[in-house]
Amino acid sequence: MTQTSVSLGLPIPMVETGVIAILRPAVLDHLDATVSALVGAGVRCLEVTATTPNFLAVLRRMVDEVPDGVTVGLGTVTDLSLAERAIAAGASFIVTPGVVDGLPDVAHRHGVPCIVGAWSPTEVMRAVAAGADAVKIFPAATGGVAHLRSLREPFPAVPFVPSGGLTCESAVGFVSAGAVAVGLGGALTGSALRDGRTTAIDERVPALLASVAAARGVR
């Protein structure tokens, strides 16, 4: 069961923790163990990508199995039909890699927030005009923290969610620069989705959450 209330247009767990764990399981053998380890370590916001095999089934499975207070969304959403199907499968938020006209409207009709991908100032303006609840800077690693700082100068009121190529260390830098949340994949999960070994999760997640919380106090 996921938490559907929103704050500042985004799911409460995303706003409170500032960390989104992004999952792209090639097989499902270790999905449950990975999700359990992430949640046990403190993650409250999970995203499965639409590039995952049988992603809607994976999404439903995660939605059904996570405890209250944990929210699950679908990422890499590139068309309106996919957004509709994701929401029907239980997605509590939608993430796009770029601006898709009309997609935020589809999400909002169902009371679901939409994070729209953008890179340039022009794309940020298009995302905001389209109704984005937040803007995903993607790929964030390409321009680094300096790019986020540059975007925040003309867009100080836009909630930014950097994603793409982040490490635990660079993620903290983005939060210090004003990101409302950060999305991380393998940097958080290590090899867990491949072999079920959750040691990396147990070590990295608590440290990252603590660092993000501290960084929010020094913006």
> Which residues neighbour 219 within 8 Å (Cβ) at sequence distance 6 or greater?
176, 177, 178
Selecting among 47, 65, 169, 203, the annotated active-site residue is 47
**Which candidate, 21, 26, 52, places its Cα nearest to that of 184?**
21
**Which one of 16, 123, 136, 153 is the catalytic residue?**
136
User: Residue ranges of the alpha helices (H) in 131-191?
Assistant: 140-152, 168-176, 186-189
Q: Which two tokens stand for residue 4?
A: 């559907």
**Which has the closest alpha carbon to 42: 80, 5, 73, 69?**
69
In sign, the C-alpha dihedral spanning 37, 134, 169, 13 is negative
Q: What residue type is 138 in one-letter code? A: F
Helices (H), 46-91: 55-65, 80-88
Is residue 136 part of the annotated active site? The answer reads yes
What residues contact 82, with CB distance under 8 A and at least 6 apart? 50, 74
Query: Which DSSP symbol is given to 11?
Result: E
Counting DSSP H helices and E strands in the chain, the numbers are 11, 9
Q: Which residues contact 65 (CB under 8 A, 6 or more apart)?
A: 32, 35
Residues annotated as part of the active site = 47, 136
